[in-house]
Homo-oligomer: A and B are copies of this chain.
């Protein structure tokens, strides 16, 4: 089947290609009646402008890019990215933008991908996820004039606009709740050490744990996997002085931690309280249901997409603070049983 071109539309409408272009793009330079006729014909013969020709003529590529550098295994485990992508997509597709996705091996490869996309003019802008301290992508994207929105922060975003939520506040809220319940020995199983949001959560954890009520605290990094969550939990619970509460940086590790506690014969929440970061349906399926930090991840992605599109249109875009995670208490947290 032959693809119709703008020339086909012009011929049938009896106008020039320029007129068709103006009509299709809502530009002035064509009468309302002609515009109507042109649109009807385009619709009728199923015309869609060739995206390459459009992009080459200086118009936009109508695509934005997202490169992710987590191992496939982790991407599958965590609902986070798929939910984020769903939210991004909902916003993009309503504006006729496509999302170009690339999964790469490491942050270095991500830099190369962004640089290549820029050279290829393949995308009009990009998202930056999984920000790290001194992230090489930030100065590179500032240097190139490739519109970019960082999903994350605050801090280390350079001059790039960013959409962020206050992870530190969520950690503080959680710890204050645990302290109020009477917990005095609190541990945390954190995420990947290099990531900025991990560091922000870690600092917040340490700051709150300096309060006099907290007698013992420990924050341990992990790779986000259930295996790692289980391993760290086993170690924490086997120590002579074990925590009465553990917070986990994702839900998979929290569920793994719950399983370990049960396998070791510890009552949850009686002998161990558990809090999960990110509230997937699974948190409500286990017994006891997990107290979790909930947030609307698709909405987060939607905000990021909206900001990137505004940036591409040339609007001034600054930082946008999203709502942030809030604590949803369930059966896995309670006052520690006197022991």
Residues of A within 8 A of B (CB): 1, 3-4, 46-56, 61, 63, 72, 75-77, 79-83, 85-87, 89-90, 93, 98-104, 115-116, 118-122, 143-145, 225-227, 230, 252, 255-256, 259, 262-263, 280-282, 284-287, 297-298
Contacts and interface: CB of A to CB of B under 8 A. Distances in A.
Give 3 closest A-B pairs by Cβ, nearest first. A48-B119, A72-B86, A52-B55
A78 to B, nearest CB: 8
Contacts of A285: 226, 230, 252, 255-256, 259
Contact of A120 (B49, B256, B287): B49
A175 to B, nearest CB: 25
29 contacts: A3-B121, A48-B118, A50-B56, A51-B122, A52-B56, A52-B61, A52-B121, A56-B56, A72-B90, A72-B298, A75-B83, A76-B82, A76-B86, A76-B280, A77-B79, A85-B101, A85-B103, A86-B103, A89-B101, A89-B103, A99-B101, A100-B101, A226-B282, A227-B281, A230-B285, A252-B282, A255-B282, A256-B281, A259-B285
A104 B93 contact: yes
Given A63-B122, A76-B82, 12 more contacts: A48-B115, A48-B116, A48-B118, A52-B53, A72-B298, A75-B85, A76-B86, A81-B82, A82-B82, A100-B100, A101-B101, A252-B281
Contacts of A263: 287
Contacts of A83: 72, 75-76
Identical chains bound together, number: 2
Given A61-B52, A99-B102, A102-B98, A4 B119 contact: yes
Contacts of A51: 52, 55, 120-122
Contacts of A281: 77, 225-227, 252, 256
A170 to B, nearest CB: 20
Nearest to A86: B72
Q: Interface centre among A52, A259, A263, by most B CB within 10 Å?
A: A52
Contact of A100 (B75, B99, B104, B116): B99
Contacts of A256: 281, 285
A280 B225 CA distance: 11
